[in-house]
């Protein structure tokens, strides 16, 4: 399998997963089970292809493409192994109970060293080697907390579901990204030498995660609640903030797009469909998502063809998802994506190719009854921290369109 075929297979898997969301929405569990079987086969094929290409580039210093794949693959595999080890620890009841105990007693990472009952927390922090990951933050939350966060992601528009998301363990690193266009096969004369004309270039795209966090005052009574209830309460506080932080970072990538198309009043739909064809290569165009705000979606909802039929049509797999020219249309609140100088933005493109959200896995939390106003109010303060970064990978994968509201 070639590198290009691998990318196409990953794109097909992403489309299958979107289809699965529709089956879940309709509670068609049998169809969803069958689809996930197909996804599992794709996953196995993708893993095998990545390993094959990485091994081919292991000792081939002359082939920059294979060498870049090998370096990127090795980096991802190392971080994946570390992540699985930490997740196994965070998944246990022993870990959840130790985490709740640490919050209730206000034990910090530094104080927990050598203290009985907090061994699982320290083991998770030290699993990656060196100093504990949370030495400057708090303890990694239990796996159940992550699951609760995922539930909140279903209730809010989470832009990270449209982009590539990669969990990392290190605070900084890089990924190899292919640059340049593919070429046709060169003509070879009889007994001629077959050359290496199509050697794509790889560039290192660096990332460096930043720290984001907030504090929450809680009563002593609430902190003494059972472990499940306490985690649910904290997830309800941190979850929406976590999603909004991801959205803000990813929107910054969209606002930084260099290509902008102004849609002509009265022919907005025609102009937009033309831009889909002219401004994106075919692969990006077919995988494109159209993202706008409430005002923009209200305008698009009134677009009709020459026969008076709406251009936004529901997806047969999920009636709650609408499409235009076969592309998904999504919208966010005006507060998240505001109008710009009375113009409504429409971001169009293959977001998974456009950018990657690097998330340092493991939200951290700690509690104190001393800092802030905790001492004066006989309460506790919970501090939650996360680390992430959004990085542009292929700026040609998307463009921005703007339109004005129709008169009347």
Closest CA to 346 of 287, 278, 275: 275
Closest CA to 263 of 252, 250, 279: 279
Q: How far apart are CA 11 and CA 5, in angstroms?
A: 10
Closest CA to 357 of 157, 163, 162, 149: 163
The confidence score (pLDDT) of residue 184 equals 55
The confidence score (pLDDT) of residue 133 equals 46
The confidence score (pLDDT) of residue 253 equals 96
Domain membership of residue 267 (yes or no) is yes
Closest CA to 302 of 316, 312, 314: 312
Domain membership of residue 375 (yes or no) is no
Domain membership of residue 3 (yes or no) is yes
Give 242-258 pLDDT, tens digit per residue.
999 999 999 999 999 99
Between 374 and 317, whose confidence is greater?
317
CATH of the domain at 347: 3.30.2320.10
Q: Are residues 3 and 113 in the same domain?
A: no
- Total structural domains within the chain: 3
Whole-structure pTM value: 0.72
Domain membership of residue 223 (yes or no) is no
Would the pLDDT of 10 be above 80? no
Between 126 and 144, whose confidence is greater?
144
Q: How far apart are CA 107 and CA 366, in angstroms?
A: 8
Give 284-305 pLDDT, tens digit per residue.
999 899 999 999 999 999 999 8
What range does the domain containing 316 cover? Answer: 254-355+395-404
The confidence score (pLDDT) of residue 91 equals 87
Q: Are residues 24 and 59 in the same domain?
A: yes
Q: Are residues 306 and 400 in the same domain?
A: yes
Q: Are residues 78 and 126 in the same domain?
A: no
| Alpha helices for 256-332 (secondary structure H) | 268-278, 282-286, 294-300
Give 65-85 pLDDT, tens digit per residue.
555 555 565 666 566 656 677
Give 220-240 pLDDT, tens digit per residue.
777 777 888 888 899 999 999
Domain membership of residue 153 (yes or no) is no
Terminal Cα-to-Cα distance of the chain (whole angstroms): 55
From 78, 112, 140, give the residue that closes a domain.
Answer: 140
Q: How far apart are CA 171 and CA 169, in angstroms?
A: 7
The confidence score (pLDDT) of residue 241 equals 93
Confidence tier at 190 by pLDDT (50, 70, 90): low
Indicate the average pLDDT of the chain.
81
Domain membership of residue 50 (yes or no) is yes
């Amino acid at each position: 399998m070639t590198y290009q075929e691998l990318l196409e297979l990953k794109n097909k898997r992403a489309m299958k997963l979107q289809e699965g969301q529709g089956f879940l929405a309709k509670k068609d569990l049998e169809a969803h089970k069958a689809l996930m079987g197909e996804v599992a086969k794709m996953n196995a094929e993708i893993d095998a292809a990545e390993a094959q290409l990485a091994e081919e580039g292991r000792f081939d210093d002359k082939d920059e493409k294979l060498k870049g794949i090998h370096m990127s693959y090795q980096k991802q595999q190392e971080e994946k192994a570390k992540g699985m080890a930490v997740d196994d620890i965070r998944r246990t009841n022993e870990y959840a109970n130790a985490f709740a105990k640490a919050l209730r007693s206000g034990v910090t990472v530094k104080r927990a060293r050598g203290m009985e009952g907090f061994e699982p927390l320290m083991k998770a922090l030290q699993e990656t080697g060196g100093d504990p990951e949370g030495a400057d933050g708090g303890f990694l939350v239990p796996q159940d907390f992550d699951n609760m966060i995922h539930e909140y992601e279903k209730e809010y528009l989470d832009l990270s579901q449209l982009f590539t998301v990669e969990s990392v363990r290190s605070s900084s690193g890089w990924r190899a990204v292919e640059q340049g266009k593919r070429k046709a096969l060169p003509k070879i004369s009889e007994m001629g030498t077959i050359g290496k004309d199509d050697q794509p270039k790889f560039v290192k795209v660096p990332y460096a995660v930043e720290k984001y966090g907030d504090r929450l005052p809680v009563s002593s009574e609430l902190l003494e609640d059972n472990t499940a209830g306490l985690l649910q309460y904290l997830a309800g506080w941190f979850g929406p903030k976590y999603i909004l932080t991801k959205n803000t970072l990813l929107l910054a990538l969209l606002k930084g797009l260099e290509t902008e198309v102004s849609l002509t009043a009265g022919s907005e739909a025609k102009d937009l469909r033309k831009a889909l064809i002219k401004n994106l290569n075919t692969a990006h165009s077919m995988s494109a998502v159209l993202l706008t705000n409430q005002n923009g979606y209200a305008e698009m909802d009134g677009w009709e063809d020459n026969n008076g039929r709406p251009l936004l049509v529901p997806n047969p797999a999920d009636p709650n998802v609408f499409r235009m020219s076969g592309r998904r249309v999504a919208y966010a609140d005006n507060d998240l994506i505001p109008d710009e100088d009375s113009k409504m933005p429409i971001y169009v493109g293959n977001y998974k190719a456009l950018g990657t959200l690097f998330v340092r896995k493991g939200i951290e939390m700690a509690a104190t009854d001393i800092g802030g106003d905790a001492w004066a109010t006989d309460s506790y303060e919970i501090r939650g921290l996360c680390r992430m970064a959004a990085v542009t990978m292929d700026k040609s994968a998307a463009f921005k369109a703007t339109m004005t509201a129709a008169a009347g």
